[in-house]
């Protein structure tokens, strides 16, 4: 055993001797003397790192640092107490040594010597610069805030044509150490470009140009929206208890209807909500729960009619028409076991002077009455009755059937407490329905309006947000593709307004009305909340991005 151990030990030491006698490879010095990185820091400020800018010939490196750091503090940066750091080749040497506080009030020269001794020199200079940037900018027009953005020294606001910007209020956010020639709160006329100059702490200045420009148009759907107004009942002549239940749009007017006897059709300016006057009513006994307008602004209003009484629909050419025409007289022959009244909801699609479809719903009975207008003439005083074939749950007092074309057999949207369904005009059966979930359509969702805008099809509803039905908002859904209605989601809910608040109303007798401009570039949506007030919005085809 000793002999074997001795042999192994001699062998191992022989290997170590041979390895130790190998000649190491010679190390060749590198001639690289280029800076790979250089940066500047402020002692005690871990987030203060500044990179330099090289001159065209690469021999001068300029650092621009703020007068204060952090930017909105009062801590002035001391040029005599800054730290330079750099990355250099592995075998190079730098002079002077970096990494410690140094005085950079004047330019300094830095020499990089390569491993071969070749030297390259750089000049480093540090400049304090004032913060002349505009961090935020917006204007307020008619109570609507429009955010702006900077583009090559221009402060751009995308403003939809037709919006008056002659007396806009400017809000501008800049460094607290700088001043603006137009401080926040200034009134400006943006019908033409307006200059604004920012002056820094060191007296340097930068001038921007404020500009209102029209945005790009979308090829599909709703783009920029803006709130026109919100009015509580007391601001427009007062609301009664559960009395304001219908609304229509005609020309420049918004009309609010009451279900009193006689009814009052109140005329407002539809752009401002200001009270204008009253429409002419057909008689002192005319009590109307519902009044709507067609696509051209012609108005129809219906009487509230129990069973076995005459249901009346009058037509006005516009809000100023002094001689309403009795368009329909029909004896309500409902077969409903309970109620069966007509007139709580009325809808129309088309142009009553050419082709249109009118629909009314019975109360507490799933029956829709349909009248057809062809060539400006009512086809028959007697309506076609459509019994809905797929009702869910009990039929409420208030339901709404909204035709989606002027075709005599048009499909229609049916809105009642248990669902919002697209219904076949020929079979009376459900085609598809939006999921009846509170997160999507509210705790209640009455009534409905249908409109087509910018190559898309939409329904708008009054979406109630509380079980007491005292808070509601406009909600708009894209229903262009019927296949998406069954799977409606937040993606198809393309717009919601601010809410209108009031007091509880047990039947949810709000109203919604949407009008599209003749050129198809804008639409206006209005919501009336019984016991509350009204809100108006402008929808456009302009890109918000």
pLDDT at residue 2 above 60?
no
pLDDT in the model for residue 27? 56
pLDDT tens digits along 40-92:
999 999 889 999 999 999 899 999 999 999 988 999 999 999 999 999 998 89
pLDDT at residue 402 above 60?
yes
pLDDT at residue 21 above 80?
no
pLDDT tens digits along 413-422:
999 999 999 9
Q: Percent of the chain scored above 70 by pLDDT? A: 95
pLDDT in the model for residue 488? 84
Q: What is the average per-residue pLDDT within 374-378?
A: 97
Q: What is the average per-residue pLDDT within 229-248?
A: 95
**Tokens for 252?**
């420049």
pLDDT at residue 226 above 90?
no
pLDDT in the model for residue 22? 54
pLDDT in the model for residue 23? 55
Q: What is the average per-residue pLDDT within 154-183?
A: 95
- Indicate the helix (H) or strand (E) that contains 244: strand 244-250
Mean of the per-residue pLDDT values for the chain?
Answer: 92
Cα three-residue angle 415-416-422, rounded to 5 degrees: 35
pLDDT band at 4 (very low <50, low <70, confident <90, very high): very low
Q: What is the average per-residue pLDDT within 282-287?
A: 96
pLDDT in the model for residue 491? 83
pLDDT in the model for residue 36? 86
Residue 79 and residue 104 in contact, taking contact as beta carbons nearer than 8 Å: yes
Q: What is the average per-residue pLDDT within 292-321?
A: 97
Query: What is the Cα–Cα distance from 372 to 376, expressed in whole angstroms?
Result: 10
pLDDT in the model for residue 482? 86
pLDDT band at 10 (very low <50, low <70, confident <90, very high): very low
From the options 3.40.50.2300, 3.10.105.10, 2.60.40.4120, 2.160.10.10, give the CATH code of 37-129. 2.60.40.4120
pLDDT band at 13 (very low <50, low <70, confident <90, very high): very low
Q: What is the average per-residue pLDDT within 186-201?
A: 97
Query: What is the Cα–Cα distance from 390 to 433, expressed in whole angstroms?
Result: 11
pLDDT at residue 365 above 70?
yes
Domain 134-213 and domain 225-540, same fold? Reply is: no
From the options 1.10.10.10, 2.70.150.10, 2.60.40.2340, 3.60.20.10, give the CATH code of 134-213. 2.60.40.2340
Query: What is the Cα–Cα distance from 420 to 288, expressed in whole angstroms?
Result: 25
Return the closest-CA partner of residue 452 out of 539, 406, 516, 402.
516
Q: What is the average per-residue pLDDT within 286-303?
A: 97
Q: What is the average per-residue pLDDT within 507-512?
A: 94
pLDDT band at 3 (very low <50, low <70, confident <90, very high): very low
pLDDT band at 153 (very low <50, low <70, confident <90, very high): very high
pLDDT in the model for residue 449? 98
CA atoms within 13 A on the CB side of 476: 29
- 161 or 15, greater pLDDT: 161
Paired with 120 in beta bridges are: 112
pLDDT in the model for residue 162? 85
**Tokens for 458?**
């939409």
pLDDT in the model for residue 24? 57
Q: What is the average per-residue pLDDT within 118-138?
A: 96
Query: What is the Cα–Cα distance from 406 to 296, expressed in whole angstroms?
Result: 13
pLDDT band at 16 (very low <50, low <70, confident <90, very high): very low
Q: Which CATH class is domain 225-540?
A: mainly beta
- Domain assignments of the chain as residue spans, ordered by start: 37-129, 134-213, 225-540
pLDDT tens digits along 426-479:
999 999 999 999 999 999 999 999 999 999 999 999 999 999 999 999 999 999
pLDDT in the model for residue 484? 87
The secondary structure of 295-351 as a DSSP string is: TTS-EEEE--B-TTSEEEEEEESSTT-SS-EEEEEEE-----SS---EEEEEEEEE-
- The pTM for the full model equals 0.75
Cβ burial, residue 480 (10 Å; 0-12/13-18/19+): middle
pLDDT at residue 273 above 80?
yes
pLDDT band at 25 (very low <50, low <70, confident <90, very high): low
């Amino acid at each position: 055993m000793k002999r074997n151990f001795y042999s192994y030990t001699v062998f191992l030491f022989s290997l170590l001797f041979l390895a130790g006698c190998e000649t190491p490879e010679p190390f060749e010095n590198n001639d690289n003397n280029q800076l790979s990185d250089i940066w500047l820091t402020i002692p005690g400020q871990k987030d203060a790192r500044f990179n330099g800018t090289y001159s065209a010939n690469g021999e001068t490196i300029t650092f621009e640092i703020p007068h204060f750091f952090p930017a909105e503090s009062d801590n002035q940066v001391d040029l005599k107490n800054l730290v330079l750091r750099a990355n250099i080749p592995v075998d190079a040497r730098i002079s002077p040594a970096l990494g410690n506080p140094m005085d950079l009030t004047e330019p300094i020269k830095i020499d990089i010597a390569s491993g071969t001794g070749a030297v390259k020199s750089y000049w480093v200079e540090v400049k304090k610069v004032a913060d002349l940037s505009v961090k935020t900018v917006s204007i307020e027009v008619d109570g609507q805030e429009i955010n702006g953005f900077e583009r090559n020294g221009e402060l751009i606001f995308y403003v939809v044509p037709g919006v008056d910007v002659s007396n806009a209020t400017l809000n501008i956010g800049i460094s607290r150490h700088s001043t603006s020639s137009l401080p926040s709160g200034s009134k400006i006329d943006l019908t033409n470009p307006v200059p604004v100059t920012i002056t820094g702490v060191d007296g340097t200045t930068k001038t921007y140009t404020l500009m209102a420009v029209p945005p790009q148009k979308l090829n599909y759907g709703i783009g920029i929206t803006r709130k026109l107004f919100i009015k509580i009942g007391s601001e427009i002549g007062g609301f009664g208890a559960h009395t304001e239940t219908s609304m229509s749009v005609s020309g420049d007017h918004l009309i609010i209807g009451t279900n009193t006897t006689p009814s009052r059709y109140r005329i407002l300016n539809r752009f401002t909500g200001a009270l204008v006057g009253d429409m002419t009513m057909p008689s002192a006994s005319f009590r109307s729960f519902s009044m709507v307008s067609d696509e051209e602004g012609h108005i129809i209003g219906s009487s509230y009619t129990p069973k076995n009484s005459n249901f009346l629909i009058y037509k006005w050419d516009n809000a100023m028409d002094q001689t309403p025409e009795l368009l329909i007289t029909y004896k309500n022959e409902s077969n409903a076991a309970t109620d069966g009244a007509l007139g709580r909801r009325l809808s129309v699609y088309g142009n009553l002077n050419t082709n249109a479809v009118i629909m009314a719903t019975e109360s507490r009975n799933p029956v829709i009455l349909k009248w057809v207008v062809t060539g400006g003439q009512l086809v028959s005083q007697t309506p076609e009755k459509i019994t809905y074939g797929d009702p869910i749950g009990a039929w409420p007092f208030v339901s709404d059937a909204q035709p989606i074309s002027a075709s005599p057999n048009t499909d229609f949207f049916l809105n009642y407490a248990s669902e919002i369904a697209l219904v076949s005009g020929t079979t009376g059966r459900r085609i598809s329905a939006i999921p009846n979930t509170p997160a999507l359509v509210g705790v209640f969702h009455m009534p409905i309006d249908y409109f087509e805008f910018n190559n898309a099809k939409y329904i708008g509803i009054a979406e109630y947000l509380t079980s007491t039905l005292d808070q509601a908002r406009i909600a708009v859904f894209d229903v262009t593709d019927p296949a998406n209605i069954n799977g409606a989601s937040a993606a198809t809910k393309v717009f919601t307004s601010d809410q209108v608040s009031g007091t509880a109303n047990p039947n949810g007798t709000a109203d919604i009305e949407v009008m599209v401009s003749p050129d198809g570039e804008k639409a206006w949506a209005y919501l009336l909340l019984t016991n509350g007030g009204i809100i108006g919005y402008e929808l456009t085809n302009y890109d918000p991005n």
